[in-house]
């Protein structure tokens, strides 16, 4: 009987307790692999730790006394991880074959270091999950929120022109279901903790490519992603976190001078956060909004 590949799933947990339960339940249905599961809890207040201890006692649990952010929590989970590593968002559910199919695709593509599957929203609507690496102007647009009113400006960056029925090499895949080959992880190293949340997987894919490892998207399997279930901050808080990540990415890849040129868009980001909280402008996802 062939030996099944060993893979460690790392879930960074922050509240959204019911979504975490569904996620862990789905992972336990995985076939064709030997799966080790690690949950890193970032000081949840909704019973996440008790849930894991009582219902999923065989899951490795790391409990943080404060919210350390996503990248730092992932790095904690990577410690002592066995085999390849797959990052799984707590609001994501996998199919029984999802991880094994991703692993088989890695096996026949030795230059691929990172791979992600097709994603869908809970209502079955396709969820774009591929983007190109952002250039400086993309960062300006993201901060300024101009694409909210003129979506055509960011169609290419946001992956809306991608053929999602085709397996292909891409710049980056969404970090919600993100399988990393162990050799690539060893070459690239830990996630950059300068990204408290958002852009950490973009940076990792970019660093992997610099080390000779490509990233692949495959429609051969899929997962269901609620998206942002654990993000309970106010609009202003979310804008601040996103803004800091964008500025860190810009400084890292475009330099301090060009980052300073993002100031007008940065100001618009601050205003968006304040106005969003004041007038409750954050809308829930609807399929027709895509």
What's the per-residue H, E or C state across the chain?
CCCCCEEEEEEEECCCHHHHHHHHHHHCCCCCCEEEEEEEEECCCCCHHHHHHHHCCCCEEEEECCCCCHHHHHHHHHCCCCCEEEEECCCEEECCCHHHHHHHHHHCCCCEEEEEEEEECCCCCEECCEECCCCHHHHHHHHHCHHHCCHHHHCCCCCCCCCCCCCEEECEECCCEEEECHHHHHHHCCCCCCCCCCCHHHHHHHHHHHCCCEEEEEEEEEEEECCCCCCCCCHHHHHHHHHHHHHHHHHHHHHHHHHHCCHHHHHHHHHHHHHHHHHCCCCCCCHHHC
Task: Report the domain count for the chain.
Answer: 2
* 246: containing domain: 143-155+233-280
- Note the pLDDT of residue 266: 75
pLDDT along the chain (290 residues), means of 10: 84 95 98 97 96 97 96 97 97 98 98 98 95 93 79 78 96 97 98 95 98 98 82 68 94 96 78 52 36
Cα 25 from Cα 192, distance rounded (Å): 30
Is 108 found in the same domain as 250? no
- Note the pLDDT of residue 152: 77
Residue 290 lies in a domain: no
- Note the pLDDT of residue 240: 86
- Note the pLDDT of residue 283: 42
- Note the pLDDT of residue 168: 98
- Note the pLDDT of residue 279: 46
Is 70 found in the same domain as 149? no
Report yes or no on whether pTM surpasses 0.95: no
As given in the structure block, the two tokens for residue 188 are 């690239």
Is 191 found in the same domain as 117? yes
- Note the pLDDT of residue 278: 45
Is 186 found in the same domain as 97? yes
Residue 205 lies in a domain: yes
CATH of the domain at 187: 3.90.550.10
Is 179 found in the same domain as 103? yes
* pLDDT per residue as tens digits for the range 114-131: 999 999 999 999 999 999
Is 93 found in the same domain as 214? yes
- Note the pLDDT of residue 235: 66
């Amino acid at each position: 009987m062939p030996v099944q590949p060993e893979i460690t799933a790392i879930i960074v947990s922050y509240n959204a307790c019911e979504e975490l339960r569904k996620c862990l339940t789905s992972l336990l249905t995985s076939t064709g692999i030997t799966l080790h599961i690690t949950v890193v809890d970032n000081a949840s207040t909704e019973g996440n730790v008790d849930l894991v201890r009582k219902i999923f006692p065989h899951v490795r649990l790391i409990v943080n006394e404060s919210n350390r952010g996503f990248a730092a929590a992932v790095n904690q989970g990577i410690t002592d991880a066995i085999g390849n590593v797959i990052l799984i968002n707590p609001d994501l559910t996998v199919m029984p074959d999802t991880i094994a199919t991703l692993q088989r695709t890695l096996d026949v593509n030795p230059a691929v270091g990172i791979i992600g599957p097709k994603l869908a929203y809970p209502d079955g609507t396709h969820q774009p999950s591929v983007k190109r690496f952002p250039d400086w102007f993309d960062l300006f647009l993201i901060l300024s929120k101009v694409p909210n009113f003129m979506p055509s400006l960011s169609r290419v960056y946001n992956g809306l022109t991608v053929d999602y029925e085709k397996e292909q090499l891409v710049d980056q895949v969404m970090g919600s279901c993100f399988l990393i080959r162990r050799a690539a992880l060893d070459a690239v190293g830990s996630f950059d903790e300068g990204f408290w949340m958002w852009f950490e997987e973009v940076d990792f894919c970019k660093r992997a490519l610099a080390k000779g490892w490509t990233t692949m998207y495959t429609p051969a399997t899929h997962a269901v992603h609620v998206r942002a279930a654990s993000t309970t901050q106010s609009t202003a808080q979310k804008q601040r976190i996103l803004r800091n990540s964008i500025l860190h990415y810009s400084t890292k890849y475009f330099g301090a001078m060009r980052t300073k040129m993002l100031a007008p868009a940065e100001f618009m980001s601050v205003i968006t956060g304040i106005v969003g909280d004041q007038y409750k402008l954050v809308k829930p996802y609807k399929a027709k909004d895509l």
